[in-house]
């Protein structure tokens, strides 16, 4: 491949124009700007990951997505966000907007990483067994994730911040509750 073709390919990859290349939606840390602005603003300094006491922040390693390469994301099943907000306090570029580390309304109002979705086909509580582990793991239990009869989890989409603690704690494999990253325009 000629050098000019490589630059052309890289430019198209950065613009997301390569046909057949589907870019993954990443679960960004709390306080993240809308995706396009986040990608344009993040300077890949890794300060967010260094500040995270839970060590849940990873960095994209995708040669087919050069725009997102080396940007922070979270995989809740492996390690969920504990909502300490330390990553938002150290971001020098503003890709992660500062959020006070107070619990409650401040976080509910300013953090929207994703939304939990329950697969009722495999969730124990919807299939004859009482579980409720995800509801007990939720930092906003009773607000963002409520338990109905047989401890069936019900997600309040407008209150779920997408931290992933429910997904991480799910005892079912594959997990019956997953956090779907939001795609903020």
Render pLDDT for 50-104 as a digit per residue (tens, 0 to 9): 999 999 999 999 888 889 999 999 999 999 999 999 999 999 999 999 998 776 7
Res 103: pLDDT: 66
CB 68 within 8 A of CB 39: yes
Res 101: pLDDT: 72
Spans of the chain, pLDDT less than 70: 1-23, 103, 184-185
Res 15: pLDDT: 46
Res 61: pLDDT: 94
User: What value does the CA radius of gyration of the chain take, rounded to a whole number of Å?
Assistant: 18
CA 72 to chain centre: 10
- CA distance from start to end of the chain: 35
């Amino acid at each position: 491949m000629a050098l000019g073709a490589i630059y052309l390919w890289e430019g198209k990859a950065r613009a997301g124009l390569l046909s057949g290349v589907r870019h993954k939606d990443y679960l960004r840390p709390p306080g993240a700007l809308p995706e396009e602005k986040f990608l344009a603003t993040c300077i890949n300094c890794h300060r967010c990951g260094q500040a995270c006491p839970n060590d849940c922040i990873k960095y994209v390693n995708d040669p087919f997505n050069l725009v997102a390469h080396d940007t922070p994301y979270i995989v809740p099943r492996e390690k969920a966000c504990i909502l300490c907000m330390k990553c938002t306090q150290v971001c020098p570029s503003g890709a992660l907007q500062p959020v006070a580390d107070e619990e409650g309304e401040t976080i509910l109002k300013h953090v929207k990483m994703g939304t939990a979705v329950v697969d009722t086909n495999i969730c124990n509580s919807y299939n004859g067994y009482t579980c409720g582990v995800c509801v007990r793991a939720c930092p906003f239990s009773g607000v963002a994730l409520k338990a109905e009869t047989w401890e069936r989890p019900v997600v309040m989409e407008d209150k779920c911040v997408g931290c992933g603690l429910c997904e991480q704690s799910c005892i079912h494999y594959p997990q019956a509750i997953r956090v779907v990253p939001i795609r903020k325009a």
